[in-house]
Amino acid sequence: MNHRIELRSYSRELENFRLRLAISAGFMLLLFLLLFARFFYLQVSQREHYHTLAEANRISIAPIVPNRGLIFDRNGVVLAHNYSAYTLEIVPSRIRNLERLINELTTVVEISARDRKRFKKLMEENRRFESLPIRTRLSDVEVARFAVNRYRFPEVEIKARPFRQYPKGEFASHVVGYIGRINDKDLERLEANSELANYRGSQHMGKIGIEQSYERELHGIAGIEEMETDAAGRSIRVISRTPPAAGKNLKLSLDFKLQEVAEKAFGDRRGALVAIEPTTGDVLAFVSRPGFDPNLFVDGIDTENWELLNNSLDRPLNNRALRGLYPPGSTFKPFMALAGLELKKLSPESTISDPGYFSLPGSTHRFRDWKAGGHGLVDLHKSLVISCDTYYYSLAHDLGIDNIYNFTSQFGLGKKTGIDIEGEAAGLLPSQAWKMERHKQKWFPGDTISVGIGQGYNLATPLQLAFATAVLAGNGAAFRPHLVKQVMDSNNRVIREFGTSPLYRLKLDPANLKAVHNALVDVTRPGGTAAVAGTGAAYTFAGKTGTAQVIGVKQGEKYEESKLDERHRDHALFVSYAPAENPRIALSVLVENGGHGGSAAAPIARVVMDYYLLGKLPKEAAAQPVDQVDEEEDEEHRHQQDEGGGHG
Amino acid sequence: MARLPHAGHYFTRYIDGFLLCGILLLMATGLITLFSATDANSARVTSQAINMLVALGVMWLVANIPLEHIMRIALPLYAAGLFLLLCVALFGEVNNGARRWLNLGVTRIQPSELMKIAVPLMMAWYFDKHETTLRLRDYGVATLLLLAPVLLILRQPDLGTALLIASSGFYVLFFSGLSWRIMATVAIAGGASLPLLWSMLHDYQRKRVMTLLDPSQDALGAGYHTIQSTIAIGSGGVLGKGWQQGTQTHLAFLPERSTDFIFAVFSEEFGLIGNLLLLVLYLTLIARGMVIAANAPTQFTRLIAASITLTFFTYIFVNIGMVIGILPVVGVPLPLISYGGTSMVTMLLGFGILMSIQTHPKLVKT
């Protein structure tokens, strides 16, 4: 070994060294090329990508949520408005131990059990990275206390937010509706309508009622603020700002004072009332009782209140005026009468002799009148005033189902009125075609008979009855019923107005109309089925009582009100308009399980008319049902069920 | 070669003009970049300029010392450095979880910095001494000379410095003629012992390696540096965003932007073209160092010149490699550009030695 090392020559060593230098030079060049390749990749190939990332780093785009439009009644009474308040918000995904955080937070700001429950419900319904309010509407003292302790809660943010408030609470709740937090379903819908961008930053949207159906107008257009931010998230400067456009204000056709009078008139009874101005289609009052407090829904309703509302037997969340389906009963008779006149099946003077029942030729089955033994000789006028059933059984038989269908559907029965809130029920006006399609059965002549008195397959919503009554009151002029009268910009300049031209006008013989109107006016006069409710009216008060069966009574059985469970009692109905010679208001009233239309429903109509036409406020108490009515003057009774058919 | 025409001048007699030009150009680039990286903080720029002047002074001083003298201090310097490293291990100040500094009462020093130059000097001196009777045992001794400080520094822990010193020592071994077969054997053995090495790494060191493999794994922690620096570089594009126009830099997304990550600032603002020019500038210095090494008169000077040049390259490659996300994040500054006095002095000390080798009369043996 030593020997070999001795042999190493200096020049060989140097050569070897220089070789290694050359090798390392090549190696270094190679590595520099590698660096350059990476530069090229980053700065040329991927430049766009990194440019976007740098811009995303630099620029934060903050949506500016527009102020939601306000909702007023026709006289400017505020029904929905906004105010600004502080909330404490948490992003669930940032929290490790929520319970502990809330417990600690409780030492600073009061957080009730209800707030906790509501927050947990919100957490289930929302995405984990969304900022959710744990407490809303903080007082000034609470804001100050949290501010002092803020360092302890880096995950909790205090935010100033606009809040929606419904100052009238339960009143008109079914009309105004409410907004609620935007959920996944809403997001999907917004995306489908490509409206998602406009809702970036928005936390709420209309869920029901006007708030929902006029969401587009009310929401407004979001603004955008482009901010340059540094690594700590601080805003350095505003790059550009597009101001938001506030939502449109809505002026309803609703007269809030009238609405209030009407709702109070119901007391704690369930029911609905729809009042329409026949010359415009303006909905003056739209009642569904019981109502609910829409304020509960704005920031997510807590479980307790939700269950209370949802499980209540009274079903306060059900909009009876819009969706409740009831047999129109005798309120259907004026339309039958007009059909008979217009189609020349009868004249005002023609009479029938009423034995107390009607039988089809060749049949022994008796369709009974409410009054055993009958009303004797009955003409058109009398048939409406005393609500004779036999007269209409006979008329229905003469007209036939298709005539009934074709004529009465012109008054909007059996189809949606097209009112400007969502969820309307279409009702049901039976026809041969309908029965074939629905029941795969041929129409029997017997089916027609009970349709004549608004029973049988007939079903209508209180809104439809009010609309039909308005068309009748307006002598055939049909205006689409609408809750919103005007859409206004944020300075209350009118942008759009509804109810200026009718949908259509029915060509009706004025003489025929006069005959019906005269009879209906006499309904509220002595001898009529609503005579008590009409006592002392200072205007011509036209109306028609009705009763809708809840359970059927078999042939031969007798309906005994006192023996029935309260919820199995008949629904009381009343349709009405006044003053009859030049109607300013037409309405329908339904009192669920109220019993008789004349005693339960008509007094409510009277209170509403008195207020609307005379400005007369009722005495404090609700319009009580008229107590004892003289047997003879009692309105029509219920009709015994025939054919065992499934209506009621 | 390439001496200034008036090389006889006292002041510039031992200065290599070629190297000096490159150094000054890089320093100017550094100051310009630093000005932007610190948001026009003239105090920082001035202090860096003073660092540079001091370092240039040191370089001038070293360049004027003949190699024989430098050779003579190799052993004492190494011994002192090793002693100080032991002191650090025993009494050093803990800073950010690392024991790197030694408080001498008057001033604090970081002995590992001293070893960056002392280790290659010592090893080159050793090989020079045993030049004629080089045996396998000598490589073993040299390796021990290298391993002792490297392990002490690894323990501090300071992976970056340990890596740089290890590589500077390895370069000496390599150029002294370590046989390819041994290197291959060691490389294979090293590769095989990687899992063992992995288990010896500190958590934060492992994290750095893991983060390199997937920066997004820890986007706001260890990966944040690399993610933000690659965004800065990528978004700079071919031409760059312009001096003082880098958004990543000026909105503070870029961490350590005046020190270890200053290359990202440069690259964001001057783009691919700037990068190319910078690499060329560095390559020129490296090439000059290689030429000096190739023409160096003795074993000692050859080894030291080659080691210094390749270590210089290593700094550049490791720093840029980490900033562009192809190497783990280790604390290695970008030579002559990153802010900081110590590394500047160390760097120019190396260049001083190169100049001394180049400019002093060559006493060719034989």
- In this prediction, the residues of chain B whose per-residue pLDDT falls under 70 are 1-8, 96-97, 105-108, 211-222, 362-366
Paired tokens of A399: 């007209």
- The CA distance from B106 to the nearest CA of chain A, in Å, is 38
A–B: how many Cβ contacts below 8 A? 127
Q: Which residues contact B208 (CB under 8 A, 6 or more apart)?
A: B222, B328, B329, B330
Establish if B32 touches chain A: CB-CB under 8 angstroms: no
| pLDDT value for A559 | 59
**Shortest alpha-carbon distance between residue A17 and chain B (Å):** 6
B271 interfacial to chain A (CB closer than 8 Å): yes
Task: Encode pLDDT of B238-274 as tens digits.
Answer: 999 989 888 888 877 888 888 899 999 999 999 999 9
> What pLDDT sits at residue A645?
31
Task: Write out pLDDT tens, residues A79-117.
Answer: 999 988 888 888 776 777 888 888 888 888 888 888 888
Within a domain: B6 = no
Query: Within an 8 Å CB–CB cutoff, is residue B366 touching chain A?
Result: yes
- The C-alpha of A197 sits at a distance from chain B's nearest C-alpha, in angstroms, of 27
- Say if B224 is an interface residue toward chain A (CB within 8 Å): no
Residue B167 forms part of a structural domain? yes
Q: Stretch A7-20: mean pLDDT, rounded? A: 80
Residue in chain B lying closest to A2 (CA):
B133
| A330 catalytic residue (yes or no) | yes
| Per-residue model confidence (pLDDT) at position B362 | 67
Contact A50 B275 (CB under 8 A): no
- Indicate the average pLDDT of chain A: 85
Q: What value does the mean pLDDT take over residues A445-472?
A: 92
Assign A127 a pLDDT band (cuts: 50, 70, 90).
low
pLDDT tens, position by position, A139-194: 888 888 888 888 888 778 888 888 899 999 899 999 999 998 888 888 888 888 87
Q: Which residue has the higher pLDDT, A558 or A549?
A: A549
**Total of domains in chain B:** 1
Report the b/e string of A513-538 with b at 16+ CB within 10 A.
bebbbbbbbbbbeeebbbbbbbeebe
Question: If pLDDT is split at 50, 70 and 90, which confidence band does A648 have?
Answer: very low
Residue range A597-608, pLDDT digits in tens: 888 899 999 999
- Residue A417 pLDDT: 92
Q: Which two tokens stand for residue A498?
A: 């509804």
Q: Which residues contact B101 (CB under 8 A, 6 or more apart)?
A: B88, B92, B93, B95, B108, B109, B110
pLDDT at A486 over 90: yes
* pLDDT at residue A484 tops 90: yes
Q: For residue A634, is pLDDT > 50?
A: no
pLDDT of residue A638: 43
Q: B232 — contact with chain A (CB < 8 Å)? A: yes
User: Which of A40, A57, A60, A239 best probes binding to B when mutated, by most B CB atoms within 10 angstroms?
Assistant: A57
Mutate to test the interface with A, among B229, B233, B316 (most CBs of A within 10 A): B233
- d(C-alpha A176, C-alpha A208), whole Å: 8
Looking at the domain assignment, is residue B7 inside a domain?
no
Q: How does residue A263 score in pLDDT terms, banded at 50, 70 and 90?
A: very high
B294 — contact with chain A (CB < 8 Å)? yes
At A31, which amino acid appears? Answer: L
Nearest by CB: A28 against B230, B252, B286: B286
Are A42 and B230 within 8 A, CB to CB?
yes
Q: Does B318 touch chain A (CB under 8 A)?
A: no
pLDDT of residue A1: 43
Torsion of CA A367, A373, A374, A376, to 10 degrees: 140
Query: Using the beta-carbon criterion (under 8 Å), do B306 and A16 form an inter-chain contact?
Result: no
* pLDDT band with cut points at 50, 70 and 90 for residue A456: confident
A53 CA to chain B: closest CA distance, Å?
A: 7
- Expressed as residue numbers, the domain containing B191 is 17-359
- Measure in Å the smallest separation between the Cα of A60 and chain B Cα atoms: 13
Instruction: With cut-offs at 50, 70 and 90, classify the pLDDT of residue A646.
Output: very low
Are residues A47 and B238, on separate chains, in Cβ contact within 8 Å?
yes
Give me the mean pLDDT over the A521-529 stretch: 90
Say how many C-beta atoms besides its own lie within 10 A of residue A644's C-beta: 8
Contact between B144 and B152 under an 8 Å Cβ cutoff? The reply is: no
- Chain A nearest-CA distance from B38, in A, is 15
pLDDT number for residue A639: 45
Instruction: Determine, yes or no, domain membership for B212.
Output: yes
> Is the CB of B272 less than 8 angstroms away from the CB of A5?
no
Residue B366 is assigned to a structural domain of this protein: no
Helix/strand/coil for A445: helix
CA A293, chain centre distance (Å): 14
| Higher per-residue confidence, A11 vs A551 | A11
Could you tell me the pTM of the whole model? Answer: 0.64
Of A34, A47, A54, the CB nearest to B247: A54
**In this structure, are strands A376-379 and A223-229 parallel, antiparallel, or unpaired?**
unpaired
Partner-chain residue, chosen from A16, A29, A43, that has the shortest CB–CB distance to B234: A43
Question: A38 vs B251: CB contact, 8 Å cut-off?
Answer: no
The reported pLDDT for the residue numbered B192 is 86
Please tell me if residue B266 touches chain A, with a CB cutoff of 8 Å: no
Comparing CB atoms, the residue among B133, B238, B365 nearest residue A44 is B238
Q: Is residue B278 part of a domain?
A: yes
> What mean pLDDT comes out for the span A338-364?
89
* Segment A611-640 mean pLDDT: 58
Contact residues, chain A to chain B, C-beta under 8 Å: 1-2, 5-6, 8, 10, 13, 16-18, 20-21, 24-25, 28-29, 31-32, 34-36, 38-40, 42-44, 46-47, 49-51, 53-55, 57-58, 228-232, 236
> Using the 8-state DSSP alphabet, how is residue A599 labeled?
I
**Cβ pair B134:A230 closer than 8 A:** no
Task: Say if residues A603 and A611 touch (Cβ distance below 8 Å).
Answer: no
A556 pLDDT above the threshold of 60:
no
B235–A47 CB contact, under 8 Å = yes
Total number of residues shown for chain B: 366
Model pLDDT, residue A208: 92
Question: What pLDDT, in 10s, does the model give residues A372-402?
Answer: 888 888 999 999 999 999 999 999 999 999 9
A331 within 8 A of A574, measured Cβ to Cβ:
yes
Q: How far apart are CA A111 and CA B100, in angstroms?
A: 51
Q: Is residue B9 one of the residues assigned to a domain?
A: no
pLDDT at A234: 67
Reduced to 3 states, what is the DSSP secondary structure of residue A399? helix
Catalytic option among A288, A330, A383, A394: A330
Put simply, whether B306 touches A (Cβ < 8 Å) is yes
> What is the least distance, in Å, from the CA of B204 to any CA of chain A?
23
The pLDDT tens digits of the residues spanning A314-328 come to: 889 999 999 999 999
Q: Tokens at residue B226, please? A: 């690399």
Tell me if chain A has a CB within 8 Å of the CB of B283.
Answer: yes
DSSP string, B28-55: HHHHHHHHHHTTS-HHHHHHHHHHHHHH
Residue A644 clears pLDDT 70, i.e. is over it: no
User: Which residue of A6, A10, A43 is in closest CB contact with B271?
Assistant: A43
Q: What is the CA radius of gyration of chain B?
A: 21
β strands within chain B, DSSP E = 93-95, 98-103, 108-109
Asked if the Cβ–Cβ distance from A51 to B238 is below 8 Å, we say no
Q: CA geometry: angle at B201 spanning B197 and B204, to 5°?
A: 150
Q: Among partner residues A10, A35, A231, which is closest to B253 by beta-carbon distance?
A: A231
CA B272 to chain A, closest CA, distance in angstroms equals 6
Answer for the pair A338, A471: CB distance below 8 angstroms, yes or no: no
| pLDDT at site B25 | 96
Contacts of A57 in chain B (CB under 8 A): 228, 231, 247-248, 251, 253
Query: Is residue B50, in this structure, part of any structural domain at all?
Result: yes
> In chain B, positions 56-115, which contact chain A (CB-CB < 8 Å)?
none
Q: How far apart are CA A582 and CA A278, in angstroms?
A: 10
d(CA A628, CA A119): 53
